[in-house]
Amino acid sequence: MNKPAATNTPALSPRWLTFAIHLLCLIIIFILPDVVLSKSLNITGQSWRMYSKSLIYVAVFYINYYLIIEHCINKSKWVLRLAVSNLILLIISLLLIAFIFIPPSGHMSKPPHYSGSAEEYIMLRHATFLLRETTMIILTVGLSVAMKLSDNWIKITRQHDQMLAIQRKEELESLKRQLNPHFLFNTLNSIYAQIALSPNSAQNAVHQLSSLLRYVLYENAPSVPLSKELDFINNYVKLMSMRIGNRLPVKLNLDPGGHDNLHIAPLIFICPVENAFKHGNTGMPDAEITISITCSNTIVECLIINHTAGNENIKNSGIGLGNLQRRLQLIYGERAKMTSQLSDNIFVFNLKIDLSSF
């Protein structure tokens, strides 16, 4: 069935959307009350005056938002510049409003109930009117300053978050670039040792290595299915077992627990698995390596146990666990818990990752 063609409706740009939101706020806060008041009092013949004053409010807001604040914000003594510029804008706006609304003195008459003189009444009317309009314009200026500073803060925060995301991505790529040659050189050394002893075994190892490198070098996605990562670990263990033979038995348990489609960061288990073979005590009888990676309720757990030759520096060996700890912090944060312990020449590594939101 053919899908209906999508309509190419142009979306509002963020700038126009901001403009529309501001205009709506101005209408609701400053313009709508005057319109409702004029309608309720049945004021006729002066609608143009009311709308002219509303346009002045709108002009004050946008002149301040797009011109004055932009001009002052990055300058020295910007608060003083902003205050002086808005004072000038206030005076100009009051003069325009006074020209539109305040009639000549001869056209104003004192109401009968007012006990003072006509001059006092006119001055009082003018002062009350100007005080009200001054307050409204100051509120308009304050609203524009608040919205502009808020928009700038959001913009700066967004830029900061984008910069952190870029730095985080670059750091992860750097860590991965460190991991790849580290893994490659150790594996090549293992194959090199096999060439003289068993050429056929070395040939099989090269073939096995090619599939591993295909995953290591070309898996650039931020996450891969858990089953794919476990297949990679399985192939690596086969390659290492081919080199070591029966000198270091391996007890392997890779069980996604039915969560094959859960995604995990690639190459997350290779460092501790590699360290287990690197530091495993091949000269000790029954010194097997236990590698268990299982998943239950979206929690994947990696448990690795191996005997060592008394090397107390295993926990800080090479790039290894330090690299892994940093990757876990960058990718998972508090959702990853990694521990390692060396006791009586037995090294125990444990890693738990919550993949529920990855």
Residue 151 lies in a domain: yes
Any domain includes 318: yes
> What pLDDT score does 106 carry?
47
Q: Tell me if 331 is assigned to some domain.
A: yes
d(CA 196, CA 181): 24
pTM: 0.55
Long-range CB contacts for residues 82-87, cutoff 8 Å, separation at least 24: 82/145, 86/141
Determine contact, residues 254/233, Cβ cutoff 8 Å.
Answer: yes
Quick one: 234 and 308 in the same domain? yes
Q: Based on the fold, state whether residues 235 and 318 are members of the same structural domain.
A: yes
User: Residue 340's domain is classified under what CATH number?
Assistant: 3.30.565.10
Does some domain include residue 208? Answer: no
Domain that holds residue 343: 219-354
Same-domain pairing of 26 and 157: yes
Number of domains in the chain: 2
Q: Are residues 19 and 155 in the same domain?
A: yes
Asked whether residue 266 falls in the same domain as residue 149, the answer is: no
Together in a domain, 20 and 97? yes
- Say what the pLDDT of residue 177 is: 59
Q: Does residue 134 sit in the same domain as residue 252? A: no
pLDDT (0 to 100) of residue 115: 62
pLDDT of residue 91 exceeding 80: yes
**Does residue 346 belong to any structural domain of this protein?**
yes
Instruction: Tell whether 243 and 142 lie within a shared domain.
Output: no
Q: What is the pLDDT of residue 354?
A: 94
Q: What's the rounded Cα separation, in Å, for the pair 157 and 165?
A: 12
Two tokens at 135? Answer: 């307050």
Instruction: State how far the Cα of 87 lies from the Cα of 340, in Å rounded to an integer.
Output: 66
Per-residue confidence (pLDDT) for residue 114, from 0 to 100: 61
> Looking at the predicted structure, is the pLDDT value of residue 13 above 60?
no
pLDDT at 88 over 90: yes
pLDDT value at residue 203:
82
Is 109 inside a domain boundary? no
- Render pLDDT for 303-351 as a digit per residue (tens, 0 to 9): 999 888 765 455 445 456 887 888 888 889 899 999 998 888 889 999 9
Judge if 123 and 247 occupy the same domain.
no
- In this structure, is residue 97 part of a structural domain? yes
Query: What is the distance between the alpha carbons of residues 205 and 209, in angstroms, rounded to a whole number?
Result: 6
Distance CA 347, CA 317 (A): 13
Percent over 90 (pLDDT), the chain: 16
State whether 99 and 226 are in the same domain. Answer: no
Whether 129 and 227 map to the same domain: the answer is no
In 3D space, the residue among 185, 234, 316 whose CA is nearest the CA of residue 193 turns out to be 185
pLDDT of the residue at 158: 85
- Residue 257 φ/ψ region, left for φ over 0, alpha for ψ in the -120 to 50 degree band, beta for the rest: left
Closest Cα partner for 253 from 271, 273, 239? 273
**What's the distance, CA 64 to chain centroid?**
31
Q: Under a CB-based contact definition with an 8 Å cutoff, are residues 280 and 274 in contact?
A: no
Contact (Cβ atoms closer than 8 angstroms) between residue 227 and residue 262: no
Q: Is residue 177 part of a domain?
A: no
Residue among 241, 338, 256, 320 nearest 294 (CA)? 256
- At residue 1 the predicted structure's pLDDT band, cuts being 50, 70 and 90, is very low
Longest distance between any two alpha carbons in the chain, whole Å = 121
| 250 φ, ψ (degrees, to nearest 5) | -120, 125
**Mean pLDDT, rounded, for 292-298:** 93
Pair 227, 313 in one domain: yes
Nearest alpha-carbon partner for 52 in 64, 39, 35: 35
Calculate ∠ Cα 128-134-135, nearest 5°.
Answer: 90
Asked which of 132-136, 212-216, 258-262, 301-305 is least confident by mean pLDDT, the reply is 212-216
d(CA 153, CA 155): 5
Question: In angstroms, rounded to a whole number, what is the distance separating the alpha carbons of residues 65 and 351?
Answer: 53
